[in-house]
Amino acid sequence: MNISIFGIAKRNLKRKFFRSAAIALSVAVVAGTLFSITTVMESVELSIRRGTARLGADIMVVPADSEQKARATLLAGDVTTFYMPSAVIDSVKRIKGVASVSPQIFIASTTYDCCDIADLRLIGFDPATDLTITPWLKERLNRELGPNEILAGREVARDAGQKMKFYGNSFIVAGTLESTGMRFIDNSVFMPIQSARRMISESVSKSKNPLSIAEDRISAVLVQVDPAYLPAQVAIYIERSVADVKSVVSEEVISSVRKQLFVLLKSILMVSVVLWIMALLMIGVIFSMIVNERQREIGLLRAMGARRSTVFRLIMLEAASLSALGGVIGIAVGGVLLFSFKSLIRAAIHVPYLWPEPSRFALLISVSLALAFLTGIAAALYPAARSSRMEPFEAIRKGA
């Protein structure tokens, strides 16, 4: 006898709608949780890799009392300023293991009276020695910046040609940087250090909020380390040889981020494991109930010529359908929530956050869907096997 198990499975799922919905929801919670955790981890890893590559330095040398500010600036993108004598540049150059150095000066935009955009980081860099912006200029702009030209992070401007005013000085966006997920770069404006110096001096006459930063001050020195030396080793040399400075090592910043994420991930992972076990048990119990309720139906199917394998496939088909549906729903809801609350997530975990690349995103979706599918299949395996072993007469008698 030719029995359409697809039609039977479809009718069974519709007939017990709320029970089917409960199974799909259980799988959705497991799939959504897994997808959300792995997506956040992948997003942070991508942001760190891209951001540190854009930073272009192994070490950032900052004033001794500003180490925490510097770390907060790199990780959370806090708009902070700190200054030290520019003589530090020559001192750091002479340290064993230092391959190249480049100074930067940080300026914070304030109210709209002085600047077109408030709470923005303005970074002056030295085009002759720069480790962060110059490689981008060679690749995309293919020329030096003019005295009134700036480069903008992706959160500041999307397109070139936009005009901006800071401390009474007008600038034109010559280009925008690739999004990195690090607010230190994405929420900053970069200009040649001479333009920054000119803006500082002219702010006295042009702005209601003049800047008071001495000519011989810088905020940080970016350091590239000789490949023969370890960055952590050179950082120690710098701190021992140069007074009143601290060395922030890029690798240590990455390590601290991963440590924060590990603590967070461990907690969420424990909850996820509990949810997964509960989902397995609940789906298994529900399908055991389904098998008990449908003994007469199963017996009739067997009496009409259905094979044991047909009954087994029927139960597994129902489980697979609900698992797939639950997986799709969980991933869709998780994706919408992650995208909608991206800024809140970044603020909550205090680390960079960048949406994964399409290929990685597709892989995360595939893995989460596979787990959701396997969850339902594994939970229904025993009830399906038990139903296939029922003898027709006995099943009809018990189910009557």
Rounded average pLDDT over 124-152: 81
Rounded average pLDDT over 284-297: 72
Every domain of the chain and the residues it spans: 5-49+256-399, 54-249
Q: If you average pLDDT over each of 35-49, 148-162, 343-357, which comes out highest? A: 148-162
Amino acid at residue number 200: I
**DSSP state string for 20-46:** HHHHHHHHHHHHHHHHHHHHHHHHHHH
Percent of the chain past pLDDT 70, that is, above it, reads: 79
Percent of the chain past pLDDT 90, that is, above it, reads: 26
Short-list 78, 79, 76, CA closest to 44: 76
Assess whether pLDDT exceeds 50 at residue 301: yes
Q: For residue 1, what pLDDT is reported?
A: 43
As a whole number of angstroms, the distance between CA 313 and CA 184 comes to 56
**Band (375; pLDDT cuts 50, 70, 90):** confident
Predicted TM-score (pTM) above 0.85:
no
Buried residues in 331-354 as b, exposed as e (16+ CB within 10 A):
bebbbeebeeebeebbeebebbbb
Instruction: Record the tokens describing residue 288, joined without a space.
Output: 């055991």
What are the distances in angstroms from CA 399 to CA 8, 214, 293, 296? 18, 90, 7, 4
Residues 198, 81, 161, 172, Cα dihedral to 10°: -10
Q: For residue 300, what pLDDT is reported?
A: 67
More confident residue, 223 or 257: 223
Assess whether pLDDT exceeds 80 at residue 67: yes
Q: For residue 229, what pLDDT is reported?
A: 92
Tell me: the pLDDT tens digits for 31-59? 888 888 888 877 777 776 666 666 678 89
Residues, the chain:
400
**Band (191; pLDDT cuts 50, 70, 90):** very high
Tell me: the pLDDT tens digits for 197-214? 999 999 988 888 889 899
